[in-house]
Structure 1
Amino acid sequence: MKYKLGDFVRFVDEKMEGFVTRIIDEQMIGVTGEDDFEIPVLASKVTTVHGYDAQGKEKSSTVTDEPVIAGEFKTKGVYLGVVSDPKANSVVHFHLVNETSFQLLASLTIEKLQVFKGEFAGIVAPQSAVKIYSAQLADLQLWPKFIFNAVYHTKQNTVPNKPLIVEEKFKAKDFAGAKKQIALLNQAGWLIQLDEPELIIDAQKLKESFFKTSEEKAIVDKPTNEVDLHIEKLRNDHQFFNSGEILNIQLEHFHKTLDAAIVHQLPEIIFIHGSGNGTLRHEIHKILAKHQKIQTFMDARKEKFGYGATKVMLK
């Protein structure tokens, strides 16, 4: 397949163009135009539009001999930067981000069902980033396992790090945090450190954590009278989660808010869960029916919420 995700192509037989947003098989690709509608098309029926310069293009991996001041030599800072394509938001690009002072002799291999494929091999210069892979965001659950290998190299008088080997099968929770600006890519995205330092347990701090005074205990914030449990109100990364994970997040927030309402002795509180398929409403009602601190519960004002909210009266 000569096309890659994010390539800008034009249809041979029609006056249409767009970005490659899916590799279906060796003959078929998916192309998304300005209307954000993906069209399956034979790869032979489109042609690459030359001259398109995608934002966030990786920096050159050419090896340089620029001197590095010994006192400023940085030995940690190898990341995977994941950013959306600036023109095709359904596609994400993976970049190997090297914030160290080492040159990295790096490779990426993917594995799925015991089938291995080398995706990238090359040199990543110090303080630079190189694009190594692209994927459909909606297919996150189908992404292969990533196997990263990197050897550290420098001409400086510095002991090189041990070779880096990381195997990772990414899940939605890995992208649960908010995006942040990635300086070497000049774009917002998720930054995942591959050379995480070893976890060192401080025995004294661990001991102190068991003997916190009452003043050090966390203060429970007083909730509002109406609590919206719609997932888009709780998380800005909800598109990464499946229905089961979304339900767990909503129930966790429900439990936390209900406990806070009890602590602050609120007389009543309304949970807005929406109508939908009724799963969240059913789970909430099941919990409330067994809760000792609940006096009663009912559908909230139908003229305002329909059947999408529950009013809870506390003891």
Structure 2
Amino acid sequence: MKFKLGDFVRFVDEKREGYVTKIIDTQTLGVTDEDGFEIPVAISNLTSVHGHGAAAEEVTAPKPIEVNIPLVSKIENGIYIAAATDNKVGNVVHFHLYNQSPNVLLVGLTTERKEKYAGTFHGVVEAYQSSLVYSASLADLDIWPQFTFQIIIFSKADVKPVDPLVIKKKFRAKDFSTEQKELPQLNNKGWLIRLDDLAPITIDAQKLKESFFKSADEKRTVAIPAKEIDLHIEKLRDDHHFLEPDEILQIQLNYFQNALDAAIVHHFDKMTFIHGTGNGTLRNKIHKLISKNPHIKTYMDAMKEKFGYGATEVVFK
């Protein structure tokens, strides 16, 4: 019988049940019981509780959390991971791909550990719904694999298709160090981590050039940005404490590039980006991008008496 991570199983030779939280080898699985202990068990000594057949239907053991999340106005549209602890086995975390958007997602999840890859989930996640994609034991957090999500975004509306997303995420202890919050429609607590703005933005120079010749009505589809853009991560994301430094930098650069492109489309004469001082990484990255942009005349430190060296003013041609 084939098992996968997150399956609820029963031991054949003793009265014990739990979730599959580790694939040790082709003959052995790690099963975490209700006391939170992960036990190596031979596959031949396990039977599926939620498989097909009468025996499985008679079992009243708790099922893995199934999420069907409708639109919740308090959560910004986007693609998230909802990490929920199991109601019975508190040491087990179930990961749900949470589609908080009006689009349909075609999703593939591949895990990688020590250059060994495993396809762990593929499927369709409808608008404002979610799917269980992975389960693991918190005790093994240090050896969890890296997650790679491949996502195709489909819309039934009259909109231009967007490029597929490839999002990499390595979960770390600090992702689960904050207090758990109530997750919408789950009747459970856990963590909500946004994924879709971790993907790098690819700038199409030709499309940007074409945007200059659009009509006024067409340009209204690109929101007019503020003249002063604050790139501090706490201004951009409420869940910034979940993020790694490289993820924070990518989000800031994406936000910068979107604002810069919008300013060019709307023929701004100048714009100020507040990046702070810190170790200078964000400032240097921004200056490098600015220096290569053909639509920028010059740039300089902005209002030193107000920002010190923590902001850059961009002057457009």
Shorter-chain TM-score bucket reads 0.5 to 0.7
Q: CA 1:87–1:2 in structure 2 vs 1: closer, same or farther (change >3 Å)?
A: farther
State how far apart, in whole Å, the 1-side matches of 2:140 and 2:274 are.
Answer: 45
Secondary structure class of the residue paired with 1:166: strand
What displacement does 1:19 show? 0.4
Deviations 1:253-293 (A, max 9, x none): xxxxxxxxxxxxxxxxxxxxxxxxxxxxxxxxxxxxxxxxx
Secondary structure class of the residue paired with 1:2: coil
Give the conservation status (yes or no) of the 8 Å contact 1:129–1:185: no
Matching residue's letter, 2:66? K
What displacement does 1:87 show? 2.0
State how far apart, in whole Å, the 2-side matches of 1:119 and 1:37 are.
Answer: 23
What displacement does 1:90 show? 1.9
Instruction: Give the aligned partner of residue 301 of structure 1.
Output: none
Secondary structure class of the residue paired with 1:126: coil
Give the conservation status (yes or no) of the 8 Å contact 2:65–2:94: no
**Residues 1:102 and 2:103 aligned together:** yes
Instruction: Give the aligned partner of residue 148 of structure 1.
Output: 149
State how far apart, in whole Å, the 1-side matches of 2:305 and 2:172 are.
Answer: 33
Q: CA 1:104–1:26 in structure 2 vs 1: closer, same or farther (change >3 Å)?
A: same
Give the conservation status (yes or no) of the 8 Å contact 1:111–1:146: yes
Unaligned runs of 5+ in 2: 50-55, 198-250, 260-271, 277-301, 308-317
Tell me how many residue pairs correspond in the alignment: 200
Give the conservation status (yes or no) of the 8 Å contact 1:19–1:33: yes
Alignment of 1:125-136 (within 5 A): 125-136=126-137
Matching residue's letter, 2:63? A
Q: CA 1:90–1:116 in structure 2 vs 1: closer, same or farther (change >3 Å)?
A: same
Secondary structure class of the residue paired with 2:255: coil
State how far apart, in whole Å, the 1-side matches of 2:170 and 2:34 are.
Answer: 32
Instruction: Give the aligned partner of residue 66 of structure 1.
Output: none
Alignment of 1:151-300 (within 5 A): 151-196=152-197, 198-200=254-256, 203=273, 211=306
**Which structure is larger by alpha-carbon Rg, 1 or 2?**
1
State how far apart, in whole Å, the 2-side matches of 1:185 and 1:210 are.
Answer: 50
Matching residue's letter, 1:149? Q
What displacement does 1:129 show? 0.4
Give the conservation status (yes or no) of the 8 Å contact 1:84–1:93: yes
Instruction: Give the aligned partner of residue 44 of structure 1.
Output: 44
State how far apart, in whole Å, the 2-side matches of 1:123 and 1:185 are.
Answer: 20
TM-score normalised to structure 2 length: 0.54
**Residues 1:54 and 2:124 aligned together:** no
Please tell me the root mean square deviation across aligned C-alpha atoms, in Å: 3.3
Instruction: Give the aligned partner of residue 19 of structure 1.
Output: 18
State how far apart, in whole Å, the 2-side matches of 1:26 and 1:140 are.
Answer: 22
Q: CA 1:186–1:159 in structure 2 vs 1: closer, same or farther (change >3 Å)?
A: farther
Secondary structure class of the residue paired with 1:199: helix
State how far apart, in whole Å, the 1-side matches of 2:113 and 2:167 are.
Answer: 16
State how far apart, in whole Å, the 2-side matches of 1:22 and 1:119 are.
Answer: 12
Secondary structure class of the residue paired with 1:111: strand
What displacement does 1:48 show? 2.4
Matching residue's letter, 1:45? N
What displacement does 1:156 show? 0.8
Matching residue's letter, 2:16? E
State how far apart, in whole Å, the 1-side matches of 2:33 and 2:273 are.
Answer: 57
Unaligned runs of 5+ in 1: 61-71, 213-315
Secondary structure class of the residue paired with 1:203: strand
State how far apart, in whole Å, the 2-side matches of 1:32 and 1:132 are.
Answer: 17
Instruction: Give the aligned partner of residue 294 of structure 2.
Output: none
TM-score normalised to structure 1 length: 0.54
Matching residue's letter, 2:255? L
State how far apart, in whole Å, the 2-side matches of 1:45 and 1:10 are.
Answer: 8
